Structure 1
Amino acid sequence: MPLSQPAAPTTPLTALLDSIDQRLHIAHAVALNKWDSGQAVEAPEREQQVIANARSQALRFGVDGQRAALFFADQIEANKLLQYSALSRWHAVGSAPQTPRIDLRNQLRPQLDRLQRTLLSQLAELDRNRPVHCPATLAQAVAQRARDPQQSLALIRATTHLCSPQ
């Protein structure tokens, strides 16, 4: 029996990527709600509310407000990418999956709001412990996560400005 290798230690980058993945995973449930209600993927008022909230909470976590705003704009765009992809697949076959729905207003949005605080905390930790070669380290970390092409693209979009100068 081959010996299993110990799990790689969690770094600030991998912890943040795990939370970004959690946020991206919610996109499918959001898309189901939008399919059922006929709502558009674009929700400019809600998007601005999320970004303003991140900006206002940022200093409490040790993150520059502009950095937080840009980071969450990237999260929103990545999430919309997955929503558009899901909706397109469902339109192509004429229906959405018959899976249980999670209430957008009362369950998904509070979950996203809680995750926002975790993401801000982890972004601050990454900024304090930034990898020396951040873009290369980030690209390798993203490439090591096995997923379908849309998830990979969404993760790349969600991390677009992660290694930008602060």
Structure 2
Amino acid sequence: MQLTPSIRSALAAGAAAVVLFTGTGTAVAAPAARPAAPDARPAAEAVATAHSPYGQLRPFAELSAERLATGDLVAAAKWGTDSPIDDPAREREVLNAVAEQARQQGADPAATVRVFRDQIEANKIVQRGLHRKWDADPGQAPTERPDLQQVRKEINRINGALVGALARSPYARSAPYCAPLLTAAAAKVRHERHLDGLHTVALARSLRSVCAGIRPPAAPAP
């Protein structure tokens, strides 16, 4: 495959983001950027259009970060109650719903379920991390309990948007440049949203299967 200059630039940005985002397994601060010329754009943004590979992959980072933010609300709703973080019935409900949405939109249901298993596990990372934090320092615990049903409506909305992103990006997700571009997008979203260490780790976990969602066809029998 011959890469265009814009994709080569984005790959370079992605390689740098790999070091920033996942290199040591620990969140680190990004180096200060050099002042850009008035009309200059970051390499990744140069290809951020709806039909470019980066433009198709960035929504996964954005929507995953949105979904992780709901983990804070779920954690607060369950804090001080007997509601467990693990909720197999709710998880089955979510996975069945997104698999059906995938079939309706022409996406791969099995790949969709893999991605959403990661989304669910990432959300639980946030919930467990916050509960540990509040156990250690009750003064930081929430004083109000969100309505869990309303929070789940927001989660369902984000789930639908993620299924749509999966349906629109089969080639970008199966391409060799998927991982570095997705990592670059995740690093950018992390800085834009000022994610702390807990949410940075969870974001990486949420995206684990995005670039593995398209499997190559089996080799023909000899």
TM-score, reference length from structure 1: 0.88
Query: What's the counterpart of residue 186 of structure 2?
Result: 142
1:25 matches 2:60: no
Query: What's the counterpart of residue 108 of structure 1?
Result: 151
Which amino acid letter does the alignment assign opposite residue 207 of structure 2? T
Query: What's the counterpart of residue 103 of structure 2?
Result: 59
Question: Structure 2: where are the runs of 5+ without partners?
Answer: 1-34, 50-54, 216-222
Query: What's the counterpart of residue 151 of structure 1?
Result: 199
Task: Give the whole-Å Cα distance in 2 for the aligned partners of 1:39 and 1:4.
Answer: 52
Which amino acid letter does the alignment assign opposite residue 161 of structure 1? S
4+ residue segments displaced more than 6 Å: none
Which amino acid letter does the alignment assign opposite residue 124 of structure 1? A
Per-residue deviation at 1:6?
5.2
Which amino acid letter does the alignment assign opposite residue 172 of structure 2? N
The 1:113–1:123 alpha-carbon spacing in structure 2 relative to 1, beyond 3 Å, is: same
Larger Rg: 2
Task: Give the whole-Å Cα distance in 2 for the aligned partners of 1:50 and 1:84.
Answer: 20
Per-residue deviation at 1:15?
1.7
1:13 matches 2:71: no
Say how many residue pairs are matched.
164
More moved, 63-72 vs 141-150: 141-150
* Percent of aligned pairs sharing the same letter: 30
TM-score, reference length from structure 2: 0.67
CA contact (8 A) 2:67 2:158 kept: yes
Query: What's the counterpart of residue 38 of structure 1?
Result: 82
1:119 matches 2:162: yes
Task: Give the whole-Å Cα distance in 2 for the aligned partners of 1:5 and 1:34.
Answer: 47
1:97 to 131, 142, 146: 142
1:3 matches 2:38: yes
The 1:4–1:153 alpha-carbon spacing in structure 2 relative to 1, beyond 3 Å, is: farther
1:129 matches 2:172: yes
CA contact (8 A) 2:95 2:116 kept: yes
Which amino acid letter does the alignment assign opposite residue 97 of structure 1? P
Task: Give the whole-Å Cα distance in 2 for the aligned partners of 1:132 and 1:57.
Answer: 27
Question: Structure 1: where are the runs of 5+ without partners?
Answer: none
Helix, strand or coil at the partner of 1:163: helix
Query: What's the counterpart of residue 126 of structure 2?
Result: 82
Task: Give the whole-Å Cα distance in 1 for the aligned partners of 2:154 and 2:122.
Answer: 17
More moved, 28-37 vs 8-17: 8-17
